[in-house]
């Protein structure tokens, strides 16, 4: 697969860049180290439907 846009990492910045490119009709190839997207802000629901923050809680804010 040939792609003109390479995004390294799928943390918050990487997935936003890829989404913005896709929104403009451009293709993006994402390469990443972890087996999920979202980087350290990744969460999931366990077998009891409890939301688990795999890498601890994260607060994203701007000043």
In a domain, 34, yes or no: yes
In a domain, 62, yes or no: no
Number of domains comprising the chain: 1
Q: Which residues contact 33 (CB under 8 A, 6 or more apart)?
A: 9
In a domain, 1, yes or no: no
Q: Are 10 and 33 in contact (CB under 8 A)?
A: no
Q: Which residue has the tokens 């910045």?
A: 13
**The model's pTM:** 0.67
In a domain, 17, yes or no: yes
Q: Which domain holds residue 40?
A: 6-53
In a domain, 58, yes or no: no
Given pLDDT bands bounded at 50, 70 and 90, which one contains residue 37?
confident
Q: What is the pLDDT of residues 39-52, one digit of tens each?
A: 888 889 999 999 98
């Amino acid at each position: 697969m040939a792609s003109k846009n390479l995004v390294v990492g799928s943390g918050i910045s990487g997935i936003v860049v890829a989404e913005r490119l896709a929104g403009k009709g451009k293709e993006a190839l994402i390469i990443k180290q972890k087996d999920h997207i979202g980087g350290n802000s990744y969460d999931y629901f366990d077998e009891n439907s409890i939301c688990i923050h795999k890498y601890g809680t994260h607060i994203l804010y701007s000043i």
